[in-house]
Structure 1
Amino acid sequence: MIPMFEEYQNTYKIESANEIKPGLEAIQVAMEKLGNPQLAVPTIHVAGTNGKGSTIRMIERIAQEHGLTTATFMSPCIENVHDQIRLNGQSITPERMNRAFEEAKEAGLSGLLTEFELLTVIAFIAIRQAKPDLAMIESGMGGRFDSTNVVEPIVSVIPSIALEHTNFLGDTLEKIAWHKAGIIKKNGYAVIGEMPETAQKVIEEEAHMQQATIKINGKDFKVLDDTWSNEVICMSGLHPSLKGEHQKGNMALAIQAFIEVAKVLHIELVEDRVQQAVATTNLEGRFEQLASHVWLDGAHNPASARSLRKTIQQVLKGEKVTMVVGILKDKDVEAVLRELEQVSDDFIFVAVEREQDRLMQPEELMKLSHAKHKQIASSVLQAVQEKQKEGSVVVTGSLYLLAQWRSILQQVLE
């Protein structure tokens, strides 16, 4: 359930199915009814396991620094449905959301779509109404059969491939890469990050089949220290504000993607604007500092937990670190814990009242944890306040859960 989305549905009497139905048939029908709003604005489409949000936010800031108006559609929400659709860097207003729902109601979409498909439709309507210069669309799950895959993007971006949603996408990197590669279009342009060779091969084969141009981080472009370069351009003085060495890879993708956008939109790329953009990019829940010694990060799968572990080793080197953790049942919980236990021996697992059927209970997490010191807290606030005075506290786990916890902590912590 997407916070506040149901209120709009009730107001406009638009019903949706609360389930996942991979496939494009239903949303293609909806798009036709609406006159294909997804084709109204130049678009970048991003799919992958990790790094999607960071890459989109950096592209967004680069575009804005070059004078472009922007729109983004990302998942999941941080606080409520409004922050999933951003116009010029600001969450969509209730007034604009109402206008989008009015158009959806007039098109007679009630009962035709799943909840996420309907949200995707609303995003495309709102973006068309706003008429930005550039839109960035994040795939919800997978790519090939995700409801966002009705766009015809200038650039398709795939930052990373790792095991995720194996019940829907398959249990091997090759199967997952096949789903992600589905966002590459005929005669299109694709930018991909460094990833396992088996996954890269699948994506390269898809690009070849689609006769698409593909650019690979580390091969066709790269970042070394503070310098980005490809075969014709070199830019230095790049210092991403987002923490962690992995963010340099996301920055590399964002710059390469925007270079293609600049060509298509006939914009001159300006080095100091790129420098300013990457230095001022922010993204909620990506090693986000909420207060003194309190950090929030969505390490919801082994790959993102590995990135968090490396970031802690880099940013909080030598400090005592307490991990406050909550994870959904469908994640590879043990692999996530093994990564985080390399930087902390002090874990707190938080009891959660809502959506207990989706969450792994703290007692189960305690049994799986190898940490020397581990306990259960009745609330995330209690856990943070108890440990904040002892050293750094990193609140982490499933993005779904972090959205709730972030709101609670922001109201109290300074």
Structure 2
Amino acid sequence: MRDLQSWLSRLEKLHPTEIELGLERVSSVARVLGVETPARRVITVGGTNGKGSCVRTMEALLRAGDHTVGAYSSPHLLRFNERIRIDGEEVADEQLIAAFEAVDQARGDVSLTYFEFTTLAAFWLFKQAGVDFALLEVGLGGRLDAVNIVDPDISIITSVAVDHEAWLGSDREVIGREKAGILRAGKTFVCADPQPPASVIDISGKLGCESFFIGHEFSLRDGEYALQAEPALRFGVPELQLPPASVAAAVTALAIAGELPGAEQVCEVLETLRMPGRCQAVHWQDRNLLLDVGHNPAAAGYLADWLERHPVSGRTVALVAVMADKNLGGLVEPLKDTVDYWFPALLPDNPRAAGAQQILQGLAAVGVAGERVSDRCAPVAEQLPVALGAIGEADRLLVFGSFFTVAEVLSEIERLGGAR
């Protein structure tokens, strides 16, 4: 196969299930490929929310220090290539095809899921490029995720919240235990959850990790970062677009690794650091939009806090489309008093997406009055111009609910142009 899309379509059909947690199959192929250690130093990032932001922050800071960096994250918004970056650049189609061919040859008759196959491709690309650092974002959970075949020098958990209940359970202690599966005995562990489950603390202690917990060994509050442990640090930071706890964890990990640039350079990097779909402000068609991929209650709580700290003089209107297996009530509850009017939307091409009735019932269940909800529930691409037509220059349109929702809107913006 010569084109990337044909490969991706094939990978979706290679394994009988979309997700199959476990490391035996993917580990066996990694050994054949010789990618059990994809870089000189490895940092693995797990957690419910904020993983991608943490990886992006470390990537930018390491590159500012002239290190070569491979970054692996998921899911993507517009292009698969977004998932694998080398020195800040998305890998080209030709590189991905070469990696897929290498994995395909190495796997023999071993069946791999889409995520396992593409994870191995990322490791192969990092190994081929000879990067100094590999920054790896866990896909789901931690202990049995394909990324966990690699032994990291530093493990980071950004947050522990309830999500993916079908796979991880609905108890933070159980979820925390799964996420703590990325920790390694005697290695460094950084935790950005201000109230980590006891299971995480217990596992880090039993493994003898050199552990750094936010609010104890390090902090980022009131515009100041501080690391109380060695090497002791304290400096002011600019206002951040990305979640402060994830940024703080990234800074802490690199400080402990001895790879953090000077405070002035750190601030320069953080001041310009942006990430698509994370409280992303877009001015388009003379209207203000805020795009956020938040899709669980914890992410909605952070988003509500961000909106309150960045008010507009007019109204906040929301366009929301979600997956059917998500806690819609928990997603809406933190935002119901901040959002003035709701435009429920659909993702008809996604079999996992919630239908109109489910969304409307979810809004009503948490007390959103019917007069504050559009009675027209249409696909995102059709609902977008309707929502934009309902707001003025002083208002803002919040787009959230899933990666797919934000991706649909970004695709429309890219197709029609004119955004800034």
Relative to the length of structure 2, the TM-score reads: 0.90
Cross-structure match for 1:113: 112
Deviation at 1:10, TM superposition (A): 6.5
**What is the rounded CA distance, in whole Å, between the counterparts of 2:336 and 2:373 in structure 1?**
11
2:314 equivalent to 1:331: no
**What is the rounded CA distance, in whole Å, between the counterparts of 1:252 and 1:12 in structure 2?**
36
| Structure 2 gap segments, 5+ residues each | none
Deviation at 1:404, TM superposition (A): 2.6
Do the aligned partners of 1:40 and 1:128 also contact (CA within 8 Å) in 2?
A: yes
**What is the rounded CA distance, in whole Å, between the counterparts of 2:406 and 2:199 in structure 1?**
33
2:298 equivalent to 1:303: yes
Compute the RMSD of aligned alpha carbons.
Answer: 2.2
**In structure 1, which of residues 251, 258, 268 is the aligned counterpart of residue 254 of structure 2?**
258
Do the aligned partners of 1:9 and 1:15 also contact (CA within 8 Å) in 2?
A: no
Deviation at 1:367, TM superposition (A): 2.4
| Structure 1 gap segments, 5+ residues each | none
**What is the rounded CA distance, in whole Å, between the counterparts of 1:354 and 1:38 in structure 2?**
38
**What is the rounded CA distance, in whole Å, between the counterparts of 1:110 and 1:385 in structure 2?**
51
Trace 1:207-218 onto structure 2 (pairs within 5 A): 207-218=204-215
Cross-structure match for 1:237: 236
Cross-structure match for 2:404: 400
Do the aligned partners of 2:36 and 2:149 also contact (CA within 8 Å) in 1?
A: no
Do the aligned partners of 1:14 and 1:109 also contact (CA within 8 Å) in 2?
A: no
Deviation at 1:128, TM superposition (A): 1.0
**In structure 1, which of residues 345, 352, 360 is the aligned counterpart of residue 347 of structure 2?**
352
**In structure 2, which of residues 195, 202, 217 is the aligned counterpart of residue 220 of structure 1?**
217
2:383 equivalent to 1:389: no
Of residues 295-304 and 222-231 in structure 1, the stretch that sits farther from structure 2 once superposed is: 222-231
Cross-structure match for 1:153: 152
2:316 equivalent to 1:321: yes
**What is the rounded CA distance, in whole Å, between the counterparts of 2:322 and 2:400 in structure 1?**
8
3-state DSSP class of the match of 2:148? coil
Do the aligned partners of 1:65 and 1:276 also contact (CA within 8 Å) in 2?
A: no
3-state DSSP class of the match of 1:182? helix
What is the total number of aligned residue pairs between the two structures?
Answer: 401
**What is the rounded CA distance, in whole Å, between the counterparts of 2:12 and 2:398 in structure 1?**
42
Trace 1:355-366 onto structure 2 (pairs within 5 A): 355=350, 357-366=351-360
Do the aligned partners of 1:73 and 1:136 also contact (CA within 8 Å) in 2?
A: yes
Trace 1:15-414 onto structure 2 (pairs within 5 A): 15-109=14-108, 111-197=110-196, 199=197, 201-231=198-228, 232-242=231-241, 247-262=243-258, 267=259, 269-291=261-283, 292-355=287-350, 357-369=351-363, 370-371=368-369, 372-375=371-374, 376-378=376-378, 379-389=382-392, 391-412=395-416, 413-414=418-419
**What is the rounded CA distance, in whole Å, between the counterparts of 2:388 and 2:189 in structure 1?**
45
Alpha carbons of structure 1 residues 110 and 125: separation in structure 2 relative to 1, 3 Å: farther
Deviation at 1:37, TM superposition (A): 4.5
**What is the rounded CA distance, in whole Å, between the counterparts of 2:239 and 2:87 in structure 1?**
20
**What is the rounded CA distance, in whole Å, between the counterparts of 2:400 and 2:126 in structure 1?**
32
Deviation at 1:211, TM superposition (A): 1.5
Deviation at 1:346, TM superposition (A): 0.2
3-state DSSP class of the match of 2:323? coil
**What is the rounded CA distance, in whole Å, between the counterparts of 2:294 and 2:10 in structure 1?**
36
Do the aligned partners of 2:320 and 2:345 also contact (CA within 8 Å) in 1?
A: yes
Do the aligned partners of 1:14 and 1:110 also contact (CA within 8 Å) in 2?
A: no
Relative to the length of structure 1, the TM-score reads: 0.91
Deviation at 1:377, TM superposition (A): 4.6
